[in-house]
A and B are shown apart, each in its own frame.
Chain A
């Protein structure tokens, strides 16, 4: 957890500095009324202070109360692979179309997550996708028809 806390405080501190740097360029206050940059600078300063506090507290944290965060085990790798798959799915979704890309995504995930026969995965995936397509496209009037295919 110590390492994670240091990373968190570092990332937030960097984020706060970027916010302050950008907000400093905004128009100044007018007749005592704060300008658009005042609140972002205030909140970014709060982030900066909290990051420093987290850093100091983590530094003082006794070793025996520290617990490690699992970021490399098999189950966590599965999460990363899933995330990568979803990024790919969202990237191709507008190009290929909802029904095709969603059905393929569902089939692949269901087959990977279970030992179910392929035909069952295909059936469940296609039925669910078409159901969502009809519900959003026809009943709720969300324009879901896009891409090269449907």
Chain B
């Protein structure tokens, strides 16, 4: 098996795809307004005609590169290229103000690499064990796992839980469209043949994440971003190395565990890592003034999420973040179903993903340290050229999946909807979580009741089921209880 994996990945074509993916990802991530999710959604259609391993590794390359690339504009322009780099702005831009942007970018590159490698190691160690455990799951456990995943909506809803629930429920509602998997009854198809096979998942994602973001860019299309910084001395100094080696592995671990939590993305990983670094620092008052710790922690944290997010995705079919949700779509297009069986039936693919992700991190380090000047030039590409091109990629991408214009219409509808949802301060991530986990919850709920002939006690029969029930309750009630305790202490 090891030989098969090595042959599959250490192949010139696949290595080139990974490097190309990382390069594209860094370019996309470095451009403000283009997120990692958008990048992966835009590149996804290119993988439809590829084999599974090169296709998935190309997307993983984009993912790894884009999460890192966001730090480039965060440091140089004080504008995070991706939301994941928002925490990097706090200290990163202070370096640029002092004329040390090269140093800041060097710290960011090495820290991102360490965070990414830590997450790949965790992915490698945890996933097979979790998959073994998941093999023992049956319908009730999968239903409760999906409910646990959906309960995460509570923590990713932004300012309003009600809006998050509305958005998540909208995503679940979309999954009802099409022929019912248990009874074969057509639901919400309105005599439209295009809806019989259900709402195509990828056009919805491209619309919500790429098209809506492009619409948002139009608002500022006439205000150009200027890069005036010169990049020098990228290689970290000896004192910076000390900070990086102390901070990045810890933040990488934090990011990885945040990535494992379904729905929690790289931005949360970055902020939690930044907060932890500040709390445990001997000089917390210096955070925000431009210190290496303030770049190393969030950058290792957000790249740590990349591997972590793939753990629940590969082992249980539950996305760790929005990008992992798109990767589920990519695997499904290839005829592969993410979940524990992937580890027994497609072992080579799974371990190729692990090894490929490691190579992607190396490619990110090498490209980051050697070609930063080139990526800074990418920042000068005018939005006035880029945004219309994104429109075309969204249209072609949504058309390519089924070669159907109906999907293009779906993409545009969700692009417009996503734009107005952003305006109304509604996060679109819960909709994606609902769209993926909704069918998993419904089909397993009904299958479980079929198994038990209608008895609801089947959901509480196994210890694993109880673990999910407790985790769900903790996720839903934890923040409220914590707030109450805090209030009482203050009183």
Contact = CB atoms under 8 A, between A and B. Distances in A.
B163 to A, nearest CB: 6
19 contacts: A4-B423, A19-B188, A43-B169, A43-B173, A47-B169, A50-B162, A50-B165, A53-B162, A54-B162, A75-B222, A89-B395, A105-B388, A105-B392, A114-B382, A125-B388, A128-B392, A132-B393, A139-B49, A144-B399
Interface of A: 1, 4-5, 7-8, 12, 15, 19, 22-23, 26-27, 31-40, 43-44, 46-47, 50-51, 53-54, 57, 69, 71, 75-76, 78-79, 82-83, 86-87, 89-90, 93-94, 102, 105-106, 109-110, 113-114, 116, 124-125, 128-129, 132, 135-136, 139-144
Contact of A69 (B48, B387, B408, B423): B423
B392 A76 contact: no
B453 interface: yes
Nearest to B382: A114
A90 B395 contact: yes
B412 interface: yes
Contacts of A139: 49
A7 to B, nearest CB: 8
A93 B395 contact: yes
B445 interface: yes
Contacts, number: 171
Given A43-B173, A90-B408, A110 B385 contact: yes
B225 interface: no
B17 to A, nearest CB: 13
A90 B187 CA distance: 27
Contacts of B399: 142, 144
B239 interface: no
Nearest to A32: B454
Given A90-B412, A144-B396, 16 more contacts: A7-B424, A8-B166, A22-B188, A27-B183, A37-B187, A40-B188, A43-B169, A44-B173, A46-B165, A57-B162, A83-B215, A83-B416, A89-B395, A93-B395, A94-B405, A142-B403
B454 A31 contact: yes
A22 B169 CA distance: 17
B219 A75 contact: yes
B221 A47 contact: no
A45 B317 CA distance: 27
A53 B45 CA distance: 40
B contacts with A: majority SS: helix
B78 interface: no
Interface in B52-67: none
Contacts of B438: 43
Given A32-B455, A141-B49, A142-B403, A26 B185 contact: yes
Q: Please provide the 8 A-B residue pairs with the shortest distance between their CB atoms, ordered closest to farther.
A: A32-B454, A113-B384, A114-B384, A109-B388, A54-B162, A140-B49, A36-B180, A75-B219
Given A35-B183, A39-B442, A113 B222 contact: yes
B218 interface: yes
B3 interface: no
Contacts of B173: 15, 19, 40, 43-44, 47
B166 A140 contact: no
A146 B173 CA distance: 34
B20 interface: no
Contacts of B391: 86, 89, 105, 109
A144 B127 CA distance: 40
Interface string B392-414: 11011001100101001100100
A76 to B, nearest CB: 7
Given A19-B173, A113-B222, A128 B389 contact: yes
Interface in B17-60: 45-46, 48-49
**Interface residue tally on B, bucketed by range:** 35 or more
B160 interface: yes
A138 to B, nearest CB: 11
B48 A140 contact: yes
Interface string B164-187: 011001101100100010110101
Nearest to A56: B162
Interface of B: 45-46, 48-49, 160, 162-163, 165-166, 169-170, 172-173, 176, 180, 182-183, 185, 187-188, 215-216, 218-222, 382-385, 387-389, 391-393, 395-396, 399-400, 403, 405, 408-409, 412, 416, 419, 423-426, 438, 441-442, 445-446, 449-450, 453-455
A40 B187 CA distance: 9
Given A27-B185, A114-B385, A75 B220 contact: yes
A46 B169 contact: yes
Contact of B392 (A71, A83, A116, A129): A129
A51 B166 contact: yes
Nearest to A133: B396
Contact of A113 (B49, B216, B388, B426): B388
A113 B172 CA distance: 38
Nearest to A11: B166
Contact of B218 (A33, A82, A94): A82
Contacts of A144: 396, 399
A26 B384 contact: no
A5 B49 CA distance: 43
B182 A142 contact: no
A142 B404 CA distance: 11
A43 B416 CA distance: 24
Contacts of A136: 45, 396, 400
A56 B222 CA distance: 39
A4 B180 CA distance: 34
A106 B389 contact: yes
Contact of A36 (B49, B169, B182, B389): B182
A54 B170 contact: no
Nearest to A57: B162
